[in-house]
Amino acid sequence: HRNGHAFAVLSGDPKHSLTIFAVDDSGKFRQTASQDDAANEHQFDSVSFNPRSMSELCTSGGGHIAFWKVEEVETATHKRARLVQSAGRVSVPGVRLTAHTWLQNGSVLAGSQGGALMLFDTSTGIGDPIGAAAESAIVALVTTKHCVVACSSDGELLFISHDGARLIRTEKCQIPGVVTTMAFTGLDTFVLGTDAGIVHAVVVTGMNTTSAMSPEELELLAPKQITCEESFGQTRAALLLPDHDHLAGISSDGVLRVRSLKANKVVMRAHVGVDPDAILLVKPELAMTLHATGTLRFVDIKTGTITQQLGVFDPAQRTGSDPCRLFCPTTNGVASGRHVLAIIDSLILIIDPQLRVPVATVTLPAVFQSVLDVTFVAGHAGHCVLSTGNASIVLLKIPSELSGAAPGDVTLPELDFEELQLNRWRCELPFARISVLSFYDGVGFNLMGASVDRDVKFSTVDLSLAPKRKDVDTKALKLPLAYKDHSKACTFLTTIDGKLLVTAGTDGRIVVRNVSTLAPQGANPSSSRKDDPAYVVCRHNSFAGGIRCLAMCGSWVTTVGGDGSVAVWNANAMCNFENLTGKPRFHLSFSVPVFSTVAPIHPLPTPPEDESHFFLVKRKLEADEEDRRRHEAHRQEVVARVAVMRDRLRDVRAENERAADDEKLDPEDFLVARDKSLFQSRVDEAIDAMRDEVKWHDLRADYVSYTLKRQCWDSMANKLTPLYGMRRDDLCVHSCHERSVPTQKLSILRKLKFLRRVEETERAAREVRELEDLAERPAGEDADAPPPAAEPSPLLDMHTNIESRLPPPEAEANEDIAPYLYRPVLAFTRHRAITQIILLEAQWTNIVRAFNAKFTELTATKRSETEKIEERNVRSSVIQKELGDESNLFVVQKHADENPNTLLEVPDSEVPADKSHDPEEKRRVAQEKAELERWRRQHGNDDSSERALKLWMDGRLDKEIKALKVDVQEPEFAVEGNAKFVPLDERSDDQIRIYREYEKKLKQRTEEVAQRRKQLQAEFAQLQKENRDAAAAFDASLEELLLNRLVASQMCAKVDLYRVKLAQGVAMQHDRDVVLAKLERQREVSAERAIQATAAMDRFKSQLDKKEAELIERVAEEKSAEKNMRSLPPFNEHEESAERLAKIYANAKKKAAAAAGGRGRGGKDKEGKKKEKGAQAAQAEAAAKIAANPDPFAFIDAEAEAKARALQEEAAAAGAAFARLEKPEGMSEGLWDSFMNYVQDRVHGER
């Protein structure tokens, strides 16, 4: 609250609950009120107190607004305060509220997502639009001394009067992505914070006065925009200058910012080019920047001037997308090496920082993939260690003397990587960052690396492997130690003097370790060694990417986070090495947060006249101007085409208005005088019939359900039926529901077609222009040429007699409806919309009927093909019996649901209830069942009927089919084991002849059986092939039918959607008519109520006059009571003192009145004049304080103080007048005390 005695807390997900806390003078706070446990229905994101009362609040956000009041609730044990919510409502539908502010008159002004402003009355909770609106969403509102300022998301400022009734002015600042707004106490400064981390200040010159300004004066003020780029959230690289007080960083917008850490402000800002990737300090005042565009620039840190610019590589020839980096040994943050290595994917560019030119290039072999990190060996010039993408560690030596390119030669000399390589090793995983702790000549070196698995690992690298031996495999590194210091990727690793290891990662953590005694002289440490870090702190939030950049300058470490904050650390001060056995002492040497939230930055520096250094605004304006010039011709063409379209739309609107006027004609206008009475009687009969229908509506309601279901089934000309495939059970197509068209609908459709033909004929006679499609005209066509004439309607292709060319009644339902449909732009009036709906319904029926015809045809095809397959299977089964084959035949699976009538067949087994409850009926049914069972038992073995049927069918009903075999009987004398068997050498001539005849018959029969079997097998294969081919052909047809079903469904859905849209339009027009009629009735009711209110006001005035007379009478009674006070106690008890006490009371009362009002008998006395002058001086002093106070609600406190002061002065004056009374001499104490009590009661009573 503005008085500082209370604050409200609005929690986040999931409840969004509201709580109020009270603050005492000592700064302690306690909870005073809260809402119920139920969560808020809407997601509010802002809350504010009513400046006039701490018991009223307002919350907004999530598209809604709510008003809250603090109420006392009595419980069983104590009283408690709770917050009661009253939801706000807007008078305009579809408005989503975003922000709000309180006005000086106690109302609330709220902004919406669409840019509209709503003024809410807190007593009713209803908001009405004020007529002012922005082009985009309102994100913040601020109440100032002179007006109310609303800000939109695109930087548009709306200045509104304090009562919210008038828009004073609008100012467009062209600032995209505004998320918050704040007004400073200087009155003339508004700070706009954007989602890109850039803060803009808008200064309204002349608005800093505390005296009230008129709306006309506000309109004349000229605002000025100041850009304050204070965010390091998008910083790509940073470095700490040698003075340890200035931080230089390059951001993704191509701006180099130098910030003073102690003063917490940007002291230099310069644009150094697009897409900067790396920065390196080559001299104390000169920095080198490398860009992804292939440009190398040298920039003066103090002035921001680009002293030199070189193109060092072609960005089109890059093989990767990793950012470019610069590496060089540094001393106190400044490059101290002979050469600088620029890493661009697999290319190593060697740059001479003194000459400021590249001198050579090295191409990394493809086996290494890319360079991840480079570290230099201290004390060994030119020695560097590379970490590559294939998990290799490579030791290189760069030559100290490189001549560079020859004069006139544009290509740099390329060095052989194998010649520069001294040694290499392999690892399990690649190292993203590496650093050399110590190097031992001829022995090895200690290496720290941040692996891609988030662990920081230590290794002792052995140099025993001879260099340049291609026949020896690379040696694997041993990793005895691994530190798990980061929960996310470790992105930065560096060492200080080989003693301190500093790591940072995307989790926002900074870890410092003591590695001075880790592994002396190349000895491998024990894997069981456990070292705790010397310093661990999480300074940056991990949600924004943790630590984006880390810069080193001696022992100073600078970290820049993605959350927009910068921290500077002194690593030596973090750890005390004087007593390593004791507990280390940690402290943060220096840390300054960046301007990440809106806070007062007043006074703002006045920008120079030339704002060319504000590159964000400048580049945007230049790009807009270039786009405007480039598209000017096209814009003019579009404007001309829109003008033509506007004229033609006006013609269409005029046509629709004429059609609507024609429909408003009353049917009686077309009747002659003698038919009007007949027409009126028919109208009365229709009204009576409608009344009877409404009367019996409830009676028919119970019968409607059954009637609809029965009609839906009986009226279907084609019921929903599935059709399955012959070979594929998963292939199924359903028919479409098709209802029979009633005769009445056919008659209406025929009349509508006739009317449409008449209407098209009349339109063609009037030569009504159509609105053609806005298609691109061919090149070279004159833009001013008149549009081509519209094609004549198909309905106009007819002779003089219109009715003679209507289709016959039997073809009415199948005629194409498309020529009769209105164009969508012409289906405007209610009559045309209803006509269009009826025509679309007929079109829908034609689409369904066309598909069902195909479905019926394919169903008949399946039935015939199934019968043919069954006939082939009958022949195939006969062949199988002859061949003795038991293979399965192809049989078409039958589906019962292909016949829709099976849905109505209910077998008796599914009906558990008895058909009759009559005992006689049940006895008769049981007797018939017993008689039937007895007859079945008696005639169960009688097969006479079957034998007669076989005889009548000539034995073909169950004709036995014998298997095909060789059935030649061998002679008995040739069968071994038979009693008549005769050996071959003992047989007679007859037996030999008989046996030879048997062999001849056997051979002949065997050949016949073989030939017959072959014929049957060929016939069986042909029959089955025909069955499969027929099934495959049917399935292909069914797949095509499925596609037709989808197309028909899509067309029906499109027609249904159009019908629904038209029906909605008709319904909306009907609703509008109903609302207008309702409003007219409400107007009449309101007029009647106004008359009643006037009468009630007259009655109230008469009652008020009567009350006034009663009060006058009571005042007279009080005066008479004062005159007759002698008859009241304590005066009537002491008659001798009554007269004196009465005079004392009268004189004291006159003095009290004079003291309170400042008037006596003779006008103003001296004391009254003095008090009046004091009151006037106090009022003037209060008015001066209010005028000097920039708080727009300061008058509330002044009013409360003046009211309290007046009451206190009045009470003090009246009390002082009676307190000065002295007891007369000779009067008893008891009588005087009774008199003083009487006086006190009279004073309180009058007050």
Calculate what percentage of the chain has a pLDDT beyond 70. 72
Q: Residue 879 corresponds to which amino acid? A: I
pLDDT at residue 1001 tops 70: yes
**pLDDT reported for residue 1046:** 93
Q: What is the DSSP string of 831-898?
A: HHHHHHHHHHHHHHHHHHHHHHHHHHHHHHHHHHHHHHHHHHHHHHHHHHHHHT--PPPP-PPP-GGG
Looking at residue 177, what is its pLDDT?
72
Give the H or E element holding residue 469. none
Structure confidence at residue 1198 (pLDDT): 78
Task: Kindly report, residue by residue over 93-149, the tens digit of the pLDDT.
Answer: 888 899 999 998 889 999 998 899 999 988 888 898 988 888 888 989 998 888 899
- SS3 call for 30: strand
Share of the chain above pLDDT 90, in %: 9
Q: Can you point out the beta strands (E) in 517-565?
A: 535-538, 547-553, 556-561
pLDDT at 600: 33
* Residue, of 1117 and 1107, whose pLDDT is higher: 1107
pLDDT for res 688: 86
Give the residues across from 341 on adjacent strands: 327, 350
Q: Which two tokens stand for residue 274?
A: 């697009």
**Residue 597: its pLDDT value, please?**
32
| Average pLDDT of the segment spanning 22-43 | 78
Instruction: Output b/e per residue, 261-284; b: 16+ Cβ within 10 A.
Output: beeeebebbbbbbebbbbbbbbee
Q: Are strands 456-462 and 481-483 parallel, antiparallel or unpaired?
A: antiparallel
Q: How many CB atoms lie within 10 A of CB 873?
A: 18
pLDDT digits (tens, 9 = 90+) for 270-288: 888 888 989 999 888 899 9
Q: What is the pLDDT of residues 872-888, one digit of tens each?
A: 988 888 888 888 888 88
- Listed in sequence order, the residues at least 6 apart from 565 whose beta carbon sits closer than 8 Å to its beta carbon are 232, 539, 540, 593, 594, 596
Fold of 6-228: Methylamine Dehydrogenase; Chain H (2.130.10)
d(CA 100, CA 148): 11
Rg (CA), the chain: 52
Burial of residue 377 (CB within 10 Å: 0-12, 13-18, 19+) is: middle
Residue 682 has pLDDT above 80, yes or no: yes
Residue 357 scores a pLDDT above 90: no
Residue 555 is predicted with a pLDDT of 72
The pLDDT confidence band at residue 53, using thresholds 50, 70 and 90, is confident
Distance CA 945, CA 220 (A): 119
d(CA 459, CA 525): 9
Q: Which range is least confidently modeled, 576-590, 649-663, 902-916?
A: 576-590
Give me the mean pLDDT over the 900-912 stretch: 65
Residue 782 scores a pLDDT above 70: no
- Asked if 385 contacts 436 with a C-beta cutoff of 8 angstroms, the reply is yes
CB 205 within 8 A of CB 220: no
State the pairing for strand pair 286-291/509-514: unpaired
d(CA 31, CA 382): 68
The residues facing 374 across adjacent strands are 386
pLDDT at 473 over 60: no
Chain mean position to CA 920: 75
Residue 108 carries which DSSP code? E
- Give, as one character, the DSSP assignment of residue 63: B
Q: What is the spatial order of strands in the sheet that 189-194 belongs to? A: 178-183, 189-194, 199-204, 223-228
Task: Write down the pLDDT at residue 564.
Answer: 64
- Please state, in angstroms and rounded to a whole number, the distance separating the CA atoms of residues 428 and 448: 15
Model confidence over 1218-1247: pLDDT tens digits?
Answer: 666 666 666 666 677 777 776 666 666 555
Among 57-61, 703-707, 783-787, name the most confident range.
Answer: 57-61
Span 466-474, mean pLDDT?
A: 51
For residue 264, the model assigns a pLDDT of 66
Alpha-carbon distance of 3 to 1201, in angstroms, equals 14
- Best mean pLDDT range from 305-314, 604-613, 776-785, 891-900: 305-314
Q: Which of 192, 208, 210, 190 is nearest to 200 (CA)?
A: 192
Residue 57 binned pLDDT confidence (cut-offs 50, 70, 90): very high
Does the pLDDT value for residue 956 go beyond 60? no
Q: 855 with 735: CB under 8 angstroms?
A: yes
Q: Which residues, 6 or more positions from 414, have their beta carbon under 8 angstroms from its beta carbon?
A: 360, 361, 362, 363
Tell me which of 1165 and 394 has the higher pLDDT: 394
Query: Which residue's structure tokens are 């520069």?
Result: 420
Averaged confidence pLDDT in the chain: 77
Please choose, from the candidates 329, 296, 321, 324, the residue with its C-alpha nearest in 3D space to the C-alpha of residue 398: 329
Element (H, E) at 1114: helix 989-1123
Least confident segment among 22-31, 228-237, 729-738, 1127-1136: 1127-1136
Torsion on CA atoms 731, 735, 736, 737, rounded to nearest 10: -130
Confidence of residue 1114 (pLDDT cuts 50, 70, 90): confident
Question: Within 10 Å of residue 156's Cβ, how many Cβ atoms?
Answer: 20
Mean pLDDT of 536-555: 74
Q: How confident is the model at residue 63 (pLDDT cuts 50, 70, 90)?
A: confident
Summary count for the chain: helices (H), strands (E): 16, 58
Strands of the 46-50 sheet, one edge to the other: 6-10, 18-23, 29-34, 79-87, 64-74, 53-61, 46-50
Where exactly are the structural domains of the chain? 6-228, 1132-1182+1194-1246
Residue 615 has pLDDT above 50, yes or no: no
- What digits encode the pLDDT tens for the residues 703-712? 776 666 666 6
The per-residue pLDDT for 1226 is 60
Residue 418 has pLDDT above 60, yes or no: yes
- 740 touches 716 (CB < 8 A): yes
